[in-house]
A and B are shown apart, each in its own frame.
Chain A
Amino acid sequence: MSLDSKIPQGPIAEKWTKHKTSIDLVNPANKRNLDVIVVGTGLAGGSAAASLAELGYNVKTFCYQDSPRRAHSIAAQGGINAAKNYQGDGDSTYRLFYDTIKGGDYRSRESNVHRLAEVSGNIIDQCVAQGVPFAREYGGLLDNRSFGGVLVSRTFYAKGQTGQQLLLGAYSAMNRQINRGKIKPYNRHEMLDLVIIDGKARGIIARNLVTGELERHSAHAVVIASGGYGNVFFLSTNAMGSNVTAAWKIHKKGAYFANPCYTQIHPTCIPVSGDHQSKLTLMSESLRNDGRIWVPAKLEDAQAIREGRLKPTQIKEEDRDYFLERRYPSFGNLVPRDVASRAAKERCDAGYGVNKTGEAVYLDFGSAIMRYGKEQAVIRHLYDASEDKIRELGEAVVEAKYGNLFQMYEKIVDQNPYKTPMMIYPAVHYTMGGVWVDYNLMTTIPGCYAAGEANFSDHGANRLGASALMQGLADGYFVLPYTIGDYLSDDILTGKISTEAPEFEAAEKQVQATIDKLLSSKGEKPVDYFHKRLGKIMWNKCGMSRNEKELKEAIAEIKALREEFWSEVRVPGSANELNQELEKAMRVADFLELGELFAKDALHRNESCGGHFREEYQTPEGEALRDDKNFMYVAAWEYKGEPADAVLHKEPLEYENIQVKTRSYK
């Protein structure tokens, strides 16, 4: 099968408008006879489900959580981008488009990104109309802040809980449709296979996580909005349940998986504290608006800090190395995430790390506190305020901006970040790679769509901050409702799909066989044991920097670990009850396959781009070195059994509206 991205003809600024107005529609009476399944109820799935139900389709949603409101979009902190130019600082649709393409290191599809920028403003209008309480200024208008990799303030936010507020908005839109009977929510359900009939996606097999029963659900189209696969690293900022299973199952049924090696390692996370750690906590990128990142300039100071002989506040200004400001003067602390993470790792690898294990750098609010304090003193006419008073006023400003993040930090680390700098270190946060989709967000399986983090389309090799929320909602509210209609217009005479079809029977049998195999395994080790080992391989050999030798080792090690898993794992309990270990085991089984494809993809991409840094390909200053001549394409992998046998298909990337350059934030 050749890859057809179905990008509409015409100038980039007109593609979406023209496409939208020329695609086929389904009349309201016929929509009532068409069913759509949406897997995942985060921003992409929740917004898609609500919009499709409003249009009149019969929607079924599936999530493993006990309520759609708990999907992991809820944890997004910092904000959502939109080219509103409310600040009058020169923002425009083109600039958002340009920033996103450049931020993605010229590895994303121009037409999709332009559409994203076009609809970004509508998202904000929509959310405000739904009652999402964004932050406002004293004049009553919406406030903005700045995020990494851009020179304008276009990020809308709701304290450090923007994802929560946007998800509750989408959830409320869903609730309205549930109330009308147009959405049937299947919570505590997990999709375990896709059913294909006559070459089209026609339903899923799902497990009721409370009773353990396998259920068949049919539909005329299936949307996968199940999020990313960062948990392949075991430790990540993802929720404990976040998994690749839905995306991986459709991959095994024929959907190509694109750029699996593009992973975002977020620079500002709370460092690992020990072997017991189950997840990592992000400190929002918005903190880099005011926090300055540094390590001691002298090795002996760094060592003294690690040994507890010196405190960071004792290090003089001239003995600090603000390495981002030093290396990237024009963007400073607001360079994109991949750049900031690598720079932190470089300093720590060189011996300047500041926690016990030497894997942490400082994020310091000292100067911001004093700056805000002085500003407040002027506003209050306190011209002879003491330093302590200024600090107090400044701390109040910082608390109003980031209070919940500071509280979160203090609870975890047991240190007061107003008084001593935060310690941070990069952690796995987001996966730009995902299921390959065309312009309509359809996968290589007709009738099967992928949206949000689950697809690969908009962020190239690196995602800019505050762009994930934008993409999830753009896909769900404003893209899928059109493109699915176009596809379903051919299905108005199909009628209800029967779940008695042999394809359903076969898929259910296969799922049952996997469950039986796991439960009958005679091993002695818990699922976590394998997941942690997989995570270590991924982090050490497929993490922030990669090289040929280690990637080859990773491939062999993951394969061996997978075999060991199937013979050595112990899954207690039975299939016909609530069984959390069984749920975990099935997810980890899929991670053990995905991990190998991930390494294979990273090995084949002989260049450095965005979050994918190959040690062999860097400039003398240690910056990423792209190879546009040979690698300006999307790597879409076709499943052929073992991950090692996956077949590579290339979608060439063409840049007609943006001149491809070396990405520089200096």
Chain B
Amino acid sequence: MKLTLKIWRQKNAQDKGRMVTYPIDGIDGDMSFLEMLDVLNNDLISRGEEPVVFDHDCREGICGSCSLQINGEPHGPDRMITTCQLHMRKFNDGDTIVIEPFRAKAFPVIKDLMVDRSAFDRIQQAGGFISVNTSGNTIDANAIPIPKPDADNAFNAAACIGCGACVAACKNASAMLFTSAKVSQFALLPQGRVEATQRVLNMVEQMDKEGFGNCTNTGACEIECPKGISLENIARLNRELLSAQFKG
């Protein structure tokens, strides 16, 4: 396959950045999108140019590092996958592909296609945990039976990989899907109920502080989420928040 890549290049956080066009040839349908970028980068290095910087690590769709906006969509045209799981067979010979970093005020660009998503860490630090010491002196794991549907729903919420596609997909750059997934995981489990009130207040407060936008329920986040995190979680977060605010 022969392709034309239009890639965002930005030297550092201060640089203004610009799109640069790179023609590329010899791309095989079995390559992953990131392997295609590896080919480009090794070409650039051999020519004495600087390679394109992008975040990536596990390359099997679970670490949440990769984060590209491909032809306007986070993680590209396919559904329920991350960029590293996107394969070139989804594109056609002669295509032009536009590759940008995730765009959001709360995700400043570090270099080229790499953004700073530490805002997500700070939201989790504000309350994304159950306050139990790691002493090993807790009660037996089977002491509290948990209904299977609750456990399954908690798992489905916990499957979030923290990639930020929800924010990148949202016209408001809202982090509600991400925050609600974590709030939901704990809200659905009896162990998490104890601190539920304070947790939701703290996490939402931090989310607002980070500069994410508001949620207007367009649902773009759910469509682009590589792990299929459901909008139900946002509804649950709103319920949790409302009841927490009343409890004061």
Query: CB distance B151 to A133 under 8 Å?
Result: yes
State the CA gap A239–B63 with chains docked (Å): 9
List chain A residues, Cβ under 8 A from B121. 67-69, 175, 185, 187
- B32: Cβ under 8 A from any A Cβ: yes
**Residues of B within 8 A of A (CB-CB), count:** 79
With A66-B117, A67-B117, A70-B65 known as contacts, the answer to whether A526 contacts B130 (CB < 8 A) is: no
List chain A residues, Cβ under 8 A from B30. 273-274, 276
Report the nearest A residue to B11, measured CB to CB.
A577
Q: From residue B58, how far is it (CB to closest CB) to chain A in Å?
A: 4
Query: CB distance B155 to A70 under 8 Å?
Result: no
List chain B residues, Cβ under 8 A from A185. 121
Which of B46, B65, B129, B151 makes the CB contact (< 8 A) with A526? B46
- B62: Cβ under 8 A from any A Cβ: yes
State the CA gap A131–B158 with chains docked (Å): 10
- A489: Cβ under 8 A from any B Cβ: no
- A161: Cβ under 8 A from any B Cβ: yes
Which of B59, B134, B189 makes the CB contact (< 8 A) with A133? B189
List chain A residues, Cβ under 8 A from B126. 179
**Residues of A within 8 A of B (CB-CB), count:** 84
Query: CB distance A65 to B136 under 8 Å?
Result: no
Which of B38, B155, B162 makes the CB contact (< 8 A) with A158? B155
List chain B residues, Cβ under 8 A from A141. 142, 145
List chain B residues, Cβ under 8 A from A526. 41-42, 45-46
- A142: Cβ under 8 A from any B Cβ: yes
With A131-B185, A570-B45, A578-B110 known as contacts, the answer to whether A84 contacts B155 (CB < 8 A) is: no
Identify the stretch in B80-88, B92-100, B170-178, B217-225 within 8 Å (CB) of chain A at 4 or more residues.
B80-88
State the CA gap A122–B126 with chains docked (Å): 27
List chain A residues, Cβ under 8 A from B127. 179
- B238: Cβ under 8 A from any A Cβ: no
List which B156-211 residues lie within 8 A (CB) of chain A.
Answer: 158-159, 161-162, 185-186, 189, 191-192
- B48: Cβ under 8 A from any A Cβ: yes
- B16: Cβ under 8 A from any A Cβ: no
Query: CB distance B59 to A240 under 8 Å?
Result: yes
Query: CB distance B60 to A408 under 8 Å?
Result: yes
State the CA gap A128–B152 with chains docked (Å): 14
Which of B63, B133, B134 makes the CB contact (< 8 A) with A47? B134
Report the nearest B residue to A270, measured CB to CB.
B60
- B57: Cβ under 8 A from any A Cβ: yes
List chain B residues, Cβ under 8 A from A136. 145-146, 148, 151-152
- B236: Cβ under 8 A from any A Cβ: no
Query: CB distance A477 to B136 under 8 Å?
Result: yes
Query: CB distance A172 to B141 under 8 Å?
Result: no
List chain B residues, Cβ under 8 A from A140. 145-148, 151
List chain B residues, Cβ under 8 A from A122. 136
State the CA gap A67–B57 with chains docked (Å): 12
Which of B41, B50, B89, B151 makes the CB contact (< 8 A) with A135? B151
Residue pairs across A and B with Cβ atoms less than 8 A apart, 9 shown, are A66-B65, A67-B162, A123-B136, A131-B186, A158-B155, A210-B110, A240-B56, A577-B12, A578-B12
Seen from chain B, the residues whose Cβ lies within 8 Å of a Cβ on chain A are: 11-12, 28, 30-32, 34-35, 38-39, 41-42, 45-46, 48-51, 53, 55-65, 78, 80-81, 85, 87, 89, 110-111, 114, 116-118, 120-121, 124-134, 136, 138-142, 144-148, 151-152, 154-155, 158-159, 161-162, 185-186, 189, 191-192
A-B CB proximity, top 8 nearest: A140-B145, A122-B136, A172-B129, A133-B155, A129-B138, A128-B141, A133-B154, A526-B45
